[in-house]
Structure 1
Amino acid sequence: MRRWIGAAAVVLLTVALTGPWWAPHAATETVGLPFTAPGDGHLLGTDYVGSDVLSRLLHGGQTVVLLAIAAMAMAYLTGASIGLAAGLTRADPVLMRPVDVVLAIPPFLVLAVLAASTGRGSLVVVLAAALANAPGIARVVRAATLEVGARGYVEAALARGEGKAAVAVRDVLPNIAAPILADAGSRVSGAIAMVAGANFLGLGLQPPAADWALMVAENRAGLALQPWAVVAPALLIALLTITVNLGGDEIAAVLRRDHKEIPT
């Protein structure tokens, strides 16, 4: 079962990232009448403007995955830095109190506030997803850092007068990698769902950009005429989110079983 989940996640990510290279048509090319049923060389029919649904699908996954990856990279860079600093210094209350405040704000409220104040666009979606995830990451990293920081080798390094930044990178990070990676699976799937939701609501990418969530929003008026234009992208979003989440859980289980502390 574990192998099937991992294989499914890899296949979906590969399709999402490399799909534009082997799509039969350009994402915005009109190839027929709107909402044409599958057939006549179009495996999944056409969409609301007559573009090939399969080609739009192959182009549209890249944005979902890349925006989610960018958001999580920003979130982990910010959250891990705060968590390490809070766990190794006396600035814990100062650093974590604002984190707790942001953590209490619903993610889509963060997105709505940013969109209302700065406008729509992919950058807004990335910033919102990063801001929504960074506080939780900071708490996970802080808790793991406090546990590892009580170990003798970390206390000895600090007692020798070594810099906290050097201790964090050399002594702490290798020993908290397992809980960080275990936390990443659910967060990445959550970021994918948030990016897709933002694009569906029109707060991120705008037509005629190819994007799975935009395809659902654009073609829902013709659901009864040509359901594949809506069902196919919605199904891919759901499968990608589920497989990444389950794959992350499996990786977390392996890491918890195999992790050994690395003293330095």
Structure 2
Amino acid sequence: MNGSWSRAFRVSLRYPRTWAGLVLTGVIAVVALLGPLLAPHGPNDIVGRPYAKPGGKAAFGTDYLGQDVLSRLLEGGFSVLVTAVLATVLGMVVGVVAGLVAGYAKGWLDEVIMRLTDVVLAFPQIVLALVLLTVAGPQQWLIIVIVGLSHAPRVARLTRGMTTTLATREFIQSAEAMGEPRGRIMFGELLPNMSGPLLAELGLRLTYSIGLVASIGFLGFVADPRAADWGMMINENRLALLVQPWAILAPVIAIAVLTVGTNLVADGIAAAAANADQNEEASA
């Protein structure tokens, strides 16, 4: 299984867009992960008057409280990136398992799983997240669960569609004839043959997770209101865009570059998967 996934990723590296996406994503990831070690000040240190222009102790100026924008930018990416990654992994795992079971088992189990996905898909992701966070309170683990589970129905539908197609192939029928357990067929035979599309979906889900997590922070639903967060930084300083634009532009640019980077990687993997399908059809 690991071979098929790594092979699909290696094929995508033939496309320049994949490399461009990896570079952009890598730069922002390094900033987010190592930023707290590089920040010149503490995230809550007052280094000047509110909305001071860049210069002196504050290379990007100060925010609405007089805190260093650069320091808060370096501190605020970790929570956004980690939350988005964990939520994406959760959504992919739940969605892939649900889609495999629904597509291979069929019958009433397929109907139940698909109808449950219909219910979740009926609500916009941000609305569903805000309702649940308003009721339960903004906790980090809950944000991960909500964002992750909001992705699961889309992943499940994609996986189910590929499962129903692959289940009719000869290699699956041969495995069934040999008495292979269903679990081994699903995860040992079906899943490796979905590596390209699922890797592309992983990149796409990560892109949406970053935007959704940042939007939740922008709306004030963060576990620690005093902690630096890119989404919350935009909200806190939005009224002074013309006075001190870097307090808003810095986190906006960071989120945009990270989103574009992950999207380019997903596009590269999707292009590689589509090319592989065309080659397979041509050889058949």
TMscore range, shorter length:
over 0.9
Consecutive unaligned residues in structure 2, runs of 5 or more = 1-15
State the distance in 2 between where 1:89 and 1:143 align: 13
1:64 equivalent in alignment to 2:94:
no
Counterpart of 2:3 in structure 1 is: none
Bigger relative CO (Cα 8 Å, ≥ 6 apart): 2
Instruction: Note the alpha carbon deviations across 1:215-248, whole angstroms, 9 max, x for none.
Output: 1111223323211111111121122112211221
1:55 equivalent in alignment to 2:89:
no
Counterpart of 1:160 in structure 2 is: 178
Instruction: Note the alpha carbon deviations across 1:67-121, whole angstroms, 9 max, x for none.
Output: 1111111111111110010111132112211112211211112112211321222
1:8 equivalent in alignment to 2:29:
no
Are the aligned partners of 1:199 and 1:205 in contact in 2 as well (CA < 8 Å)? no
1:32 equivalent in alignment to 2:45:
no
Counterpart of 1:147 in structure 2 is: 165
State the distance in 2 between where 1:47 and 1:112 align: 26
Are the aligned partners of 2:99 and 2:156 in contact in 1 as well (CA < 8 Å)? yes
State the distance in 2 between where 1:158 and 1:96 align: 25
Counterpart of 2:9 in structure 1 is: none
State the distance in 2 between where 1:258 and 1:22 align: 43
Counterpart of 1:184 in structure 2 is: 202
Are the aligned partners of 2:92 and 2:202 in contact in 1 as well (CA < 8 Å)? no
Instruction: Note the alpha carbon deviations across 1:40-85, whole angstroms, 9 max, x for none.
Output: 1321011122221111101111111111111111111111110010
RMSD in angstroms over aligned alpha carbons? Answer: 1.8
1:255 equivalent in alignment to 2:262:
no
Deviation at 1:258, TM superposition (A): 4.4
- Equivalences for 1:1-264 in 2 at 5 Å? 2=17, 3-90=19-106, 91-258=109-276
State the distance in 1 between where 2:274 and 2:30 align: 27
> What is the one-letter code of the residue matched to 2:143?
V
> How many pairs align?
261
Percent identity (aligned): 39
Consecutive unaligned residues in structure 1, runs of 5 or more = none
